[in-house]
Amino acid sequence: MPILESEEALRNVLQTARTVAVLGAHPEPRKAAHYVPRYLHEQGYRIVPVNPVYTGRVLFGETPRAALTDLDEQIDVVDVFRRAEHLPAHVGEILAMRPRPKVVWLQQGIRHDEVARELAEAGIDVVQDACMLALHRKLGIGRPGSQ
């Protein structure tokens, strides 16, 4: 499985994904970890927030999970809002997910080539250093399933 970079591959992910787990989701509207998943939620994606600090709240209509391994359903994309230095600690958690996610998407400004290689070798597509919101708008995708 590749590291996804082509516009066609990114478009395919955004058009086919339905459920997005947001690692590092945040309730503060000014933070990208809030307004990006809020935008995606408004576009019709199911957003499953993952952040142990906010498990008692509701974000995007869902109760945040403490860890990715708390998810027991198909996740199409794990959208990551964590600094690159924290990513190696999440590899085992991602690989332990059942079923495994189709894609791990590292948001704009987040890149970790070793983590990306390890996930790709395990059969998970990876996007690095790209904003889902910006690409969704740029590619003119609209609501999922509407095209």
Per-residue pLDDT 10s for the chain (147 aa) are: 477 778 889 999 999 999 999 999 999 999 999 999 999 999 999 999 999 999 999 999 999 999 999 998 999 999 999 999 999 999 999 999 999 999 999 999 999 999 999 999 999 999 999 999 999 999 888 665 444
Q: How far apart are CA 13 and CA 32, in angstroms?
A: 20
Cβ-based burial of 81 (10 A; exposed 0-12, middle 13-18, buried ≥19): buried
**Backbone angles phi and psi of 58, in degrees to 5:** -125, 125
- Predicted confidence at residue 146, as pLDDT, reads 45
- Predicted confidence at residue 115, as pLDDT, reads 97
**Backbone angles phi and psi of 65, in degrees to 5:** -90, 155
CATH topology of domain 7-138: Rossmann fold (3.40.50)
**Backbone angles phi and psi of 77, in degrees to 5:** -135, 135
The three-state secondary structure class of 35 is: helix
